[in-house]
Amino acid sequence: MTTRKFDRLILSVIGCAVIATAMASLVSPQSSGVTASPRVSFDQTQAEPGHLNQPHADAAPEDFELAAGAGVSSLREARALAEKFKKMGYHLESVREHGKPVPRVFLAEMPRDLHAVPEVSLKKTVFFQTMLPLILQENERILADRHRLIRIKAEMALGAKPSARDRLWLMVLAERYKLDNDNPDALLKRVDVIPPSLAMAQAAEESGWGTSRFAQTGNAIYGQWTTADGNGLVPKERPDGMDHKVRAFDNLAQSVSAYMRNLNTHRAYRALRRERAKLRAAGAALDGQKLAGSLTGYSERGHEYVDSVRTIINVNGLRALDDARLVADAADDQSA
């Protein structure tokens, strides 16, 4: 074995350990794949403001815990949750129309009575208010990696050799994004955000606005499949001869993270990544409505699925949330 191959092997082993440690620190340590009780995190971490096209500082979430003053039963009720959002000053209209930052409130699961809420507007609002912070949080993490990639690429263009720490980081990132090489140009096509409008519309479509059995039992908001021996839920109407399951998660944040990783790595979504790269090259904002056209492979419904996702974006004014950002300072976070 050559010295270079040996070095890469050692760095890969270290990198895997780094990923395992990081993932363990980010999620609640349940192993069943089903959330046992409602949990929520009110993150008071200091962070710089950021959205799809501006720099920001990476912000690690705190461990999931019950919010002060919020009982277990109340977190299962959509109306109680809506009232809590109201007291926090968290209104989607303020985010859309005035660019008000979104509070760092990360629910681990959807309210259990969401299916029984008769008011469609209330059901939709609670669903979007729950999903938006989670989506923005994952985009923050991706943007932090993207900005580091851009820095390394710029330094390499000037003739500088990446440090050992950066080389290890590139190798770990390449493995995470399923690339055989750690070339920054190749990575930049995958290490990029998903517009909130698209992520929320797909979440609504795939989970029945958070009311599906998969969403309620396994936090499976995006309907991702897993293998027969994977951690998941068996569809009731699974065709004969099929052995797939719908992948289950410990919390909603894991579901969002897996969804974005799926779009950024799977060969079925190369068209989306190409279209996104074109928008970046042109200096244009990422448009969820436009990128939705590249997702005919996400569902067996093909173009009908794309039309449905676009309708959800349009009817609910989700494009106005594409530049939303999480609150930057704990002092401004009314949930704290």
User: According to the model, what pLDDT value does residue 330 have?
Assistant: 52
User: According to the model, what pLDDT value does residue 242 have?
Assistant: 58
User: According to the model, what pLDDT value does residue 223 have?
Assistant: 79
Residues 25-68: pLDDT tens digits?
443 333 333 333 334 444 333 333 333 444 333 333 333 233 43
Which residue is it, tokens 């493995």?
175
Residue 18: which pLDDT band, with cuts at 50, 70 and 90? very low
Is the per-residue pLDDT at 122 higher than 80?
Answer: yes
Query: What mean pLDDT comes out for the span 228-238?
Result: 59
What distance in Å separates the CA atoms of residue 309 and residue 295, rounded to the nearest whole number?
A: 10
* Residue ranges covered by each domain of the chain: 3-332
Q: Amino acid letter at 258?
A: A
pLDDT winner (highest mean) among 26-40, 128-142, 223-237? 128-142
Residue 224: which pLDDT band, with cuts at 50, 70 and 90? confident
The two structure tokens encoding residue 101: 């930052």
Q: Which CA distances in Å does 317 have to 96, 130, 162, 312, 321?
A: 8, 16, 43, 8, 8
0.75 exceeded by pTM: yes
Is the per-residue pLDDT at 315 higher than 60?
Answer: yes
Higher pLDDT residue, 4 or 327? 327
What distance in Å separates the CA atoms of residue 10 and residue 280, rounded to the nearest whole number?
A: 35
User: According to the model, what pLDDT value does residue 214 have?
Assistant: 82
Percent of the chain with pLDDT over 70: 69
The two structure tokens encoding residue 289: 């409505």
Is the per-residue pLDDT at 19 higher than 60?
Answer: no
Contact 123, 78 (CB under 8 A): yes
Q: Residue 232, class by beta-carbon neighbours within 10 Å (0-12 exposed, 13-18 middle, 19+ buried)? A: buried
What distance in Å separates the CA atoms of residue 136 and residue 100, rounded to the nearest whole number?
A: 14
Query: What mean pLDDT comes out for the span 247-267?
Result: 94
Residues 75-116: pLDDT tens digits?
579 999 999 999 999 999 999 999 999 999 999 999 999 999
Q: Please tell me the least confidently modeled range out of 167-176, 218-227, 280-289.
A: 218-227
Contact 36, 72 (CB under 8 A): no
59-84 b/e with 16+ CB inside 10 Å = b? bebeebebbeebeeebbbbbebbbeb
- Residue 145 neighbours by CB under 8 Å, 6+ apart: 173, 191
Residues 278-301: pLDDT tens digits?
999 999 999 999 999 999 999 989
Nearest to 78 by CA among 43, 38, 42: 38
User: According to the model, what pLDDT value does residue 234 have?
Assistant: 55
- Residue 133 neighbours by CB under 8 Å, 6+ apart: 102, 103, 104, 105, 106, 326
- Fold classified for 3-332: Lysozyme (1.10.530)
User: According to the model, what pLDDT value does residue 72 have?
Assistant: 42
Residue 237: which pLDDT band, with cuts at 50, 70 and 90? low
- Residue 323 neighbours by CB under 8 Å, 6+ apart: 51, 52, 53, 99, 285
